[in-house]
């Protein structure tokens, strides 16, 4: 956090009354005091990542469990916008669950912002924002089968994406962020911000006669800078982040977060560019 706020507690001190009433009662006195107790508010959140548990046959169930890292990305088979299960989650093969919510575990009501970063090489961001050219797609959350996009999470402002670009661990990222559109009360959990990712059907790996690998999508080579390990394997990381600010005194999340953290706040603390909104 780059800017901290201190809660000013007003302490009320009772004055001691000291009255002399004649010589024979020179030391008859009286006093009174009171302790005024205040509980200092605090804001604390838990970013929750989940996935669907699998049965003994490897089929996804409708039971959620903690998210496990190092999922294998393969081009999707079917459509992520097609058939869904009872949870409203896609049933398409090779769809990777990444169900993100935020829980208020502190003592005070809060405004919440959620960030989702995707490698720039795999996302068509600034300037065109053509989702049809995304290589790695992510799906917005759902509530009772309806999208939370624009309903409980605000991903756009004035027709522009809440978006900026930065570098994290030497990898260029396009970052999308969303403000929760209502105050998150104590012990309450947000609706889903996102539910998962999937690799575009156009993605392919071409191995040359010398063993070299070329990564392609939409009939173009992809530069996987910073994502290829010493073993030659590609690791794709999509960092997520959430911040929260006390709700008291603020009318919306954007104002609260701007006032608390500053304009154009990048939670990873690296240089940023191409901000579409503040």
pLDDT at 249 exceeding the cut of 60: yes
Least confident of 12-21, 33-42, 132-141, 204-213: 12-21
Q: How far is CA 100 from the centre of its chain?
A: 7
d(Cα 220, Cα 14) in Å, to the nearest integer?
Answer: 77
Helix then strand then coil, % of the chain, to nearest 5? 5, 35, 55
Report the chain's mean pLDDT, rounded to a whole number: 88
Q: Check residue 40 and give its pLDDT.
A: 61
What residue segments make up the domains of the chain, in order of their start?
Answer: 45-273
Q: Mean of the pLDDT values across residues 69-73?
A: 91
Q: Check residue 34 and give its pLDDT.
A: 64
The CA distances from residue 140 to 82, 155, 225, in Å, are 14, 10, 27
Q: How far is CA 1 from the centre of its chain?
A: 15
Closest C-alpha to 18, from 10, 26, 7, 9: 26
C-beta of residue 137 within 8 angstroms of C-beta of residue 79: no
Q: Check residue 20 and give its pLDDT.
A: 45
pLDDT at 75 exceeding the cut of 70: yes
Three-class SS of residue 84? Answer: strand
d(Cα 192, Cα 233) in Å, to the nearest integer?
Answer: 31
d(Cα 96, Cα 98) in Å, to the nearest integer?
Answer: 6
Confidence of residue 230 (pLDDT cuts 50, 70, 90): confident
User: Who has greater pLDDT, 69 or 181?
Assistant: 181
Q: How far is CA 137 from the centre of its chain?
A: 16
pLDDT in tens, 3-49: 444 333 333 444 444 444 444 445 566 667 666 656 566 899 999 99
Q: Check residue 30 and give its pLDDT.
A: 64
User: What pTM value is reported for the model?
Assistant: 0.86
**What phi and psi, each to the nearest 5 degrees, are found at residue 240?**
-125, 155
Residue-wise DSSP of 62-83 = EEEEE--S-PPP-B-BS-TTS-
Positive/negative CA dihedral, 127, 131, 135, 137: positive
């Amino acid at each position: 956090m780059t800017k901290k706020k201190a809660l000013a507690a007003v302490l009320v001190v009772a004055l001691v009354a000291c009255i002399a009433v004649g010589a024979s009662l020179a030391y008859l006195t009286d006093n009174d005091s009171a302790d005024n107790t205040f509980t200092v508010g605090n804001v604390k959140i838990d970013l929750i990542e989940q996935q669907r548990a699998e049965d003994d046959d490897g089929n996804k169930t409708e039971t959620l469990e903690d998210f496990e890292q190092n999922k294998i990305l393969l081009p999707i088979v079917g459509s992520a916008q097609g058939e869904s299960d009872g949870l409203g989650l896609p049933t398409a093969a090779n769809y990777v669950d990444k169900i993100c919510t935020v829980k208020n575990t502190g003592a005070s009501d809060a405004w919440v912002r959620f960030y989702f970063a995707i490698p720039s090489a795999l996302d068509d961001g600034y300037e065109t924002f053509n989702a049809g050219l995304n290589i790695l797609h992510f799906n917005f959350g759902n509530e009772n089968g309806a999208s939370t996009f624009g309903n409980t999470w605000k991903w756009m402002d004035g027709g522009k994406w809440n978006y900026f670009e930065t570098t994290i661990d030497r990898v260029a990222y396009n970052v999308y962020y969303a403000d929760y559109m209502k105050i998150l009360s104590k012990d309450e959990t947000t609706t889903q911000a996102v539910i998962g990712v999937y690799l575009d059907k156009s993605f392919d790996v071409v191995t040359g006669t010398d063993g070299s690998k070329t990564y392609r999508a939409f009939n173009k080579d992809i530069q996987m800078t910073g994502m290829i390990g010493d073993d030659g394997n590609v690791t794709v990381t999509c960092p997520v982040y959430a911040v929260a600010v006390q709700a008291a005194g603020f009318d919306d999340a954007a104002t609260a977060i701007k006032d608390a953290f500053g304009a154009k706040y990048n939670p990873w603390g690296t240089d940023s560019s191409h901000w579409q909104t503040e």
